[in-house]
Chains A and B, each alone.
Chain A
């Protein structure tokens, strides 16, 4: 009896194995057939999907609610921290924005300088930045960040793309002092640019009106009009010829009565001066400095001392 039962059990077990193998082989075949698109069960698949849909829908909705609550709680828990982070970010962005504006303004200035540099090919320029102003006479002398190490020397001319700024009066190793044309000690040999006029004169700083230099030594009958552009004459050997100094703003009679004075609107806005260029070399041959004429012995006249500038 027990042998019969064991035999039956073995038969059943073998049968199960055979069925299992057949099913497995069949499934492998189905997998390959389905992968090649030769086997589909759309009806069954749709049925299962339909049956599953309510379960999946409810669970998905529940999970989303849980997630929403979790995220909300997390947001509330971290709102202070987030607020602090955002504040820091705002501060950081404000700083960055200010820096970006600064760079933009600098970029504009440098572009303008570059444009001038490309048009004035007769000069070799050295770009410099104003790092200090004389606090006592702040609009008359400035300090630039270039010195003898950069090739800057005394009496070199300082300009912007708009016109003449001044000249170097003291060159240190890494910085230099620039005397502006507004400085009362400055004197620049100039000429009226208008072809019919070509009147020469000297532009000096005015103590009484520090923002407007004056052109002196103009004969009373000299052809100078308001709006005339005044440029450097090149006489004197310091300032090269043709640099714009300013525009005649108004004319006044000299207290002596023989000459007249032209008040100039400077070409350069000295209040907004930040970047300048130092003319380190000029390929333009400067005119010979004025020399006193040869005088007949015994009739010599006393010669006035030369001016400090051009």
Chain B
């Protein structure tokens, strides 16, 4: 129960940093999606089940905290947590490049999936016209991917050692 409290606190803190701190340093109105990186790291560290659950929770938090399309973050983060967790067993989790590469992949995937959702919801959206946004986001994700993964890993190890 105490562990869950710490995880919740860390999650809220990450989300608060993403929504309150990072927008001050945004480019083209874009800043890092820490919750996506956090989900990726959890997936890498804890596998598909925990990754999917964490992704769903983090995404739901984003959906509830922001006024965007409700459910869209929960959907995508769940998918990311599961897919990354599915492949995490085949790679060595301590490799530094892993979260970095994963962050690029999931950010690009996020862009594609969001574009598809927008199109399905009937909104006019030209993905190629927003490539500069994608590039800015990729840069942010690359910068923050390893610090987020490092923090998540340290936190995870602490929980494991306490248990």
Stretch of A28-36, A94-102, A106-114 contacting B (4+ beta carbons < 8 Å)? A28-36
* Residues of chain B lying within 8 A (CB to CB) of residue A30: 70-71
Assembly CA distance A58 to B69 (angstroms) = 26
* Residues of chain B lying within 8 A (CB to CB) of residue A209: none
How many chain A residues sit at the interface, stated as a range, is: 20 to 34
Whether A48 touches B61, Cβ cut-off 8 Å, given contacts A20-B52, A27-B78, A32-B121, is yes
Residue from A24, A35, A48, A59 within 8 A of B21 (CB atoms): A59
Q: For residues 102 through 136 of chain B, which have their beta carbon under 8 Å from a beta carbon of chain A?
A: 117, 120-121
What's the least CB distance linking A229 to chain B, in Å? 74
Residue from A41, A52, A59, A67 within 8 A of B70 (CB atoms): A41
What's the least CB distance linking A55 to chain B, in Å? 3
Q: Are A52 and B16 in contact (CB under 8 A)?
A: yes
The size of the chain B interface, using a CB distance under 8 A, is 28
Q: For residues 20 through 72 of chain A, which have their beta carbon under 8 Å from a beta carbon of chain B?
A: 20, 23-24, 27-28, 30-32, 34-35, 39-41, 44-45, 47-49, 51-52, 55-60, 62-64, 67
Q: Is A308 at the interface (CB under 8 A from chain B)?
A: no
Q: Is A282 at the interface (CB under 8 A from chain B)?
A: no
Say what secondary structure dominates the interface of chain A: helix
* Residues of chain B lying within 8 A (CB to CB) of residue A49: 64-65
Partner-A contacts on B (CB < 8 A): 12-13, 15-17, 19-21, 24, 48-49, 52, 56, 61, 64-65, 69-72, 74-75, 78-79, 82, 117, 120-121
10 residue pairs A–B, Cβ–Cβ below 8 Å: A20-B52, A23-B56, A23-B78, A24-B79, A27-B78, A52-B16, A52-B65, A59-B20, A59-B21, A64-B24
Partner-B contacts on A (CB < 8 A): 16, 20, 23-24, 27-28, 30-32, 34-35, 39-41, 44-45, 47-49, 51-52, 55-60, 62-64, 67
